[in-house]
Structure 1
Amino acid sequence: MKTNKKVQKMNNVQKSEKETAVKVTALAIIPKPMILLSPQNVPTTAGVTEAPETVTVPTVVEGAPQQATLKAPLATATAETDLDITTIHPSADNHRKTFNDTSLQELADSIREVGVLQAIAVRPRTEGGYEIIYGERRYRASLLAGAKTIKANIYNNVTDDEAEDMSLSENLQREQVRPTEEAKAFKRLLEKGRYDMYSLVSRFGRSEKYIYTRLKLNELYAPIGELLDNETITVSVAEEISTYEPNIQKDVYEKHLKEDSGDNWTGYTLNLFRKHFEKCYTTDLEQYKFDKTECKACVHNAANYNLFAEHNGCGHCTNRKCLETKNAAHVAKETEKLLKSDPKLVIARPYYGSRNDTALQKLDKKGHEIKDFDYNVSAREFPKAPEAPQKEQFTEPTEYEQAVQTFEQRNEEYARKVEELNRKKEEGRIKTYVKVGQTEPELCYVEINKKETAPVTIETLQERDKRFKQLSVEKIVADTKKVVRENDYPESPFTQYEDGMLYFIMLTKLQRKHYPLCGIKDQPIRLDEKQRMKIVAKLTDAQKTVIKRDFINHFLCEDAYGDNSASKLLRDFANMHFPDQYGLAKATHEEEYQKRHERLEERINEIKKTEKAAAKKTEAMPTPTAGKQEEPLTEAKKGKAGNDKAA
């Protein structure tokens, strides 16, 4: 009998599995001190083979660079035998917790046709039967296939640690293992002390970088690990995420990987993910000018927790608040140095271009004068001196000579521009400022007219002082709003002063017809702040009543619609103060509704009578006899019946 293609395929899978798997009969450990995972002793990426994204483990040729010694006696198996499947029990310590239903069913189909090609490993239990050391997937598939027995190797006198190592080692060499399960397995092997990094590399034929990145998956935020297991994200993306702090991982999941997230990154390749991650979460420290000595050892520097990441000498910062604070302090300090070098300089806040607002706030709090430019003013940067070429940067003498010639030409052009600008400055045609840039201060200049070159007078200084006072009040108000909004009220009685504040607010809704009651006559516009303050200072009971009722009137009329709560309150308010007018309106519309209601009731009753008569007529009709139904007349039969009747 010919075997179908599906069975042949599964046979090939089992045979390949048997050929490529390394049979674990002993745990050979190469003696070497434990290698700690630290930046000092982890090798650089040079010479390390890049680990592929797939978790498939290739065939491992067991050959150590030095003679292996045994840490534990060999675990010798009995001859391969068929055991009653009911005596087999899974191990509670099996690191593999998930099994693909489709894959299990395919394996069960293969076992149903040709049986189990590679025996599972078991050990005797004290309570009877056998416990699986490895091969639970084949055991589960055999149960699905309805097998009565299963091929097994029995290992006697195997300790729990040995059984666990055998299970982990065997499963790590199979294609079906998930990256998260592989990560847990490597971690367990290291924690047990039976392997170190060196022996793991030798034992499983994986690079140190591969094992290290798999171990980092143990630090992956749990929901992201589920996305990896479901193949929603690639293993390379998951490894990249695992190198960052837990709070960043959680934020990435909530905003960019969760199913309902607006900016979803689940389908991104590693390069595309890094591009977007850099934009949202990390910053290259190389572009900043402040002293980064502390940053090199900081826990928020990505270079310190991704040992194999490619980066410059500074790394990437993930704590943007700290980065912004340090950068702003540096920029403010450098700006003050420029101001001390030339007392006539003034800080500029240009309308166009980038600026460091945090540094500007620091300088403002220190009392430095800041000139705000409007959109009509264009501030131009002073030319910067070119950098001289260094001879050691060039391999050919001719290239260095050409670079020197280019530098000399640019330097001459720079000197000419500086001389021209200095002449314009002396003539009063330009004015220099300090522009507070993102990473450093820069000198800039503005072309000015004759009016702006007028000498500073007492009046102009007094105007500046007046403006500074206004700015001070504006800032106090802004901070006060923040204090009031963010803090809760202390327990205290409602004061008379607060009552006056309430009337000050409610006066904004006072109807114009009530202005005379409050002492305001012949004014078509709304009350201004001064008028309201004047009224609040001398409120009478009659005025308070009208102000409150106008306030209620306004908001109930604005919010009332249909049969909502505001509508009910509005009707009660009208009935309370205008019962006659409200009663007339209510009676008019209710009478109109009653007439329409009566007409609709008449139509409903007529329809009911018609339906009742039709039902009686249907009940009175004779029921056709069962088993013999009247044959419908065709046109020909109808014609014949008519002729017979006529005859």
Structure 2
Amino acid sequence: MEATAIQTNTANVQEATISLALIQPSNYNPRKNFDEQSLTELADSISRQGILHAIGVRPIAGTDRYEIVYGERRYRASLIAGKEDIKATVYTDLSDDEAEQNAIAENLHRQDITPMEEAETLKAAIDSGRYDYATLATQIGKSETYIRTRIKLTTLIPEIARLIDTEEITVAVATEISRYGVDIQTDVYNSHLKDGVTCNNWRGMNASNVARLIEKNYTTDLSRYRFDKSACASCPFNTINLLLFCEDGCEGNCSNPSCLREKHIGYLTDKAVDMLNEHPTANFCHSEYDRNERVNALLTEMGYDIEKLGGYLTPYPFEPIAPQSDRFDTEEEYAEAVKAYEGKVEAHREKCAELTAKAEAGEITLYITIGRNDVTLGYMATPAKPSEDCNNPKAEIAKLEAKDKRNKE
């Protein structure tokens, strides 16, 4: 059946009734999934009332066929309804770019578009290069933040994406989940959203509760770590940059455990070496129940010996913390605190000098303990030496000098 032109006819656009057999879908339609139930419902409507809005097509060069520009859902429903032809707006002079642009625009202005279809359409518009976020926002009358948030939904795993379109979770909940990687999304789905999950099921929860639960169960509090976190402040895996609301002073939680682990290991290794440089006669050690195997392995590769701690250490005195003026109500109170601090500093210096002298005399042994979460300095009394060692101090000095040389190397 050939196309039959009716009523409107302009230079580049004409209204026509075209045989469905002569029409085929295009490859650039941003809409890829078509719900069978909604297609059947539309087909029933078309059977009763016919097509209310024409689809858009353009001629395929060198043939008598047409390619769909927009309206593929109406085309599919008409086939289900057993129709032979369909009303169409024929664009006789439409480039590929213009056809794709029309398809995107038509999809975005549909009343029945699902959240995931909208997300894919917006992403296609940005990926096409014809829009940036500002121009697309003007085109569709939405904010740039809205567009970025919607496009983020395209990173959802398929199982969670389907829950949005079936309205089993809200778009707001899906948006919170989309902020995290595939591993976390998969675990959230299997543990809390999958059909049949009865314990800790998150369906029906609001977005803020889901966000807090993900942060609590799948991220690590950065305040527990002492490495330099300046880069974490702007990291996309820091929940402080994912969540809408964060408490003042909060450093955020890390949702990238592998990166967190490497930073932590690097910090502990560097701290251990720096501490040894400050106390070159100290020994590296670890306790039986608190050790960091990865840091121990790195230090061993660097040529250091690490002992297993055989007793309890006395902590090395901590350096006093200077008072902060903004924490005092009056200048007098602050001056008193400064004076007390200076006294503590002097006492600390004297205690450290005393311990250094004892270590050099062999009365105590300094130990740098490599723990799971920190590196600490401590000491214990040196056990009495056998009589031959006491009678041969030169051998003991030579041993310490050799150890000092090895540590410096």
Q: Which TM bucket (shorter chain)?
A: 0.5 to 0.7
Separation (CA, whole Å) in 2 of partners of 1:410 and 1:207: 57
2:334 maps to: 404
Amino acid paired to 1:109:
D
1:235 maps to: 174
Tell me if the contact between 2:287 and 2:371 (Cα under 8 Å) persists in the aligned partners. no
Structural mapping, 1:108-507, within 5 Å: 108-126=43-61, 127-128=63-64, 130-147=66-83, 150-174=86-110, 176-177=112-113, 181-215=117-151, 220=155, 224-231=157-164, 235-237=174-176, 239-241=178-180, 249=182, 251-252=183-184, 257=189, 267=202, 269-279=210-220, 284=222, 287-289=225-227, 302-303=235-236, 309=242, 318-319=258-259, 322-340=262-280, 343=281, 345-351=282-288, 354-363=290-299, 366-368=303-305, 370=307, 372-374=309-311, 377=312, 379-380=314-315, 382-391=317-326, 399=329, 401=331, 404=334, 407-408=337-338, 411=341, 418=348, 433-437=367-371, 441-445=375-379, 454=384, 457-458=387-388
* Among candidates 38, 53, 71, match of residue 103 of structure 1: 38
Say if 1:360 and 1:191 are closer, same or farther in 2 by CA, change over 3 A. Answer: closer
Separation (CA, whole Å) in 2 of partners of 1:403 and 1:115: 86
* CA deviations over 1:25-63 (Å, ceiling 9, x no partner): xxxxxxxxxxxxxxxxxxxxxxxxxxxxxxxxxxxxxxx
Identity level (%): 27
Give the CA deviation at 1:440. 5.4
Say if 1:445 and 1:364 are closer, same or farther in 2 by CA, change over 3 A. Answer: same
Separation (CA, whole Å) in 2 of partners of 1:121 and 1:410: 83
Amino acid paired to 1:123:
R
* CA deviations over 1:232-257 (Å, ceiling 9, x no partner): 8853255323xx5xxxx3x5577665
Give the CA deviation at 1:208. 2.9
* CA deviations over 1:294-343 (Å, ceiling 9, x no partner): x689xxx9449999647969987643564355224312322212323xx3
Q: Which has more strand, going by share of residues?
A: 2
Separation (CA, whole Å) in 2 of partners of 1:305 and 1:171: 35
1:612 maps to: none
TM-score by length of 1: 0.43
* CA deviations over 1:481-500 (Å, ceiling 9, x no partner): xxxxxxxxxxxxxxxxxxxx
Amino acid paired to 1:436:
I
Give the CA deviation at 1:135. 1.3
Tell me if the contact between 2:283 and 2:306 (Cα under 8 Å) persists in the aligned partners. yes
Separation (CA, whole Å) in 1 of partners of 2:330 and 2:48: 77
Indicate the SS of the match to 2:275. helix
1:614 maps to: none
Say if 1:367 and 1:92 are closer, same or farther in 2 by CA, change over 3 A. Answer: closer
TM-score by length of 2: 0.63
Tell me if the contact between 1:286 and 1:314 (Cα under 8 Å) persists in the aligned partners. no
Structure 2 unaligned blocks of 5 or more: 1-9, 204-209, 244-249, 397-409
Say if 1:193 and 1:359 are closer, same or farther in 2 by CA, change over 3 A. Answer: closer
Amino acid paired to 2:131:
Y
Tell me if the contact between 1:288 and 1:439 (Cα under 8 Å) persists in the aligned partners. no
Structure 1 unaligned blocks of 5 or more: 1-73, 466-647
Q: Indicate yes or no: 2:25 matched with 1:90.
A: yes
Say if 1:143 and 1:190 are closer, same or farther in 2 by CA, change over 3 A. Answer: same
1:634 maps to: none
Say if 1:153 and 1:307 are closer, same or farther in 2 by CA, change over 3 A. Answer: farther
Indicate the SS of the match to 1:95. coil
Tell me if the contact between 2:23 and 2:67 (Cα under 8 Å) persists in the aligned partners. yes
Structural mapping, 1:520-559, within 5 Å: none
Tell me if the contact between 1:347 and 1:434 (Cα under 8 Å) persists in the aligned partners. yes
Amino acid paired to 1:326:
G
Amino acid paired to 1:358:
R
Tell me if the contact between 1:286 and 1:312 (Cα under 8 Å) persists in the aligned partners. no
Indicate the SS of the match to 1:319. helix
1:28 maps to: none
* CA deviations over 1:417-438 (Å, ceiling 9, x no partner): 8599779969999875433355
Aligned residues: 354
Indicate the SS of the match to 1:78. strand
Tell me if the contact between 2:268 and 2:375 (Cα under 8 Å) persists in the aligned partners. no
Amino acid paired to 2:174:
V
Give the CA deviation at 1:167. 0.7
* CA deviations over 1:570-594 (Å, ceiling 9, x no partner): xxxxxxxxxxxxxxxxxxxxxxxxx
Give the CA deviation at 1:161. 1.9
The structure with higher relative contact order (CA 8 Å, sep 6+) is 2
Indicate the SS of the match to 1:99. coil
Say if 1:192 and 1:371 are closer, same or farther in 2 by CA, change over 3 A. Answer: closer
